[in-house]
Amino acid sequence: AQKITQTQPGMFVQEKEAVTLDCTYDTSDPSYGLFWYKQPSSGEMIFLIYQGSYDQQNATEGRYSLNFQKARKSANLVISASQLGDSAMYFCAMRAVSNQFYFGTGTSLTVIP
């Protein structure tokens, strides 16, 4: 069975500090993709970062990095130098071999000035 688990319903971070959002996954697929999406209060889904299961290096995109630990089946999102505009809901997702995408329940991040 494919499953994504996000255990932090809500997180707070001080502006300019770094924050880690946790994500663990469960799959028996030989290859898969891991994604993070941001959903601001306006409701749109914004793609942030991608990690392929065969990628040796952790993915980075600007202030976002994905801490991929394959043996632990974790794919945590690290946001450095938090900004007020980072306040949003964040979803971890996994693409299976079938090309179905599975999502976690999300983490609500609030950046405090």
Partner 1 sequence: DAGITQSPRHKVTETGTPVTLRCHQTENHRYMYWYRQDPGHGLRLIHYSYGVKDTDKGEVSDGYSVSRSKTEDFLLTLESATSSQTSVYFCAISEKVGLAAKNTGELFFGEGSRLTVL
- Residues in contact with partner 1 by the rule CB under 8 A: 4, 6, 31, 33, 35, 37, 43-45, 47, 50, 52, 54, 91, 93, 95, 99-106
- Sole residue written with tokens 């405090």: 112
Tell me how far, at minimum, the Cβ of 113 lies from partner 1, in Å: 26
Question: Which residue lies nearer to partner 1 by CB, 41 or 113?
Answer: 41
Question: Which residue lies nearer to partner 1 by CB, 99 or 113?
Answer: 99
Q: What is the token pair recorded at 47?
A: 């793609």
34, containing H or E segment: strand 33-39
Closest CA to 47 of 6, 71, 9, 77: 77
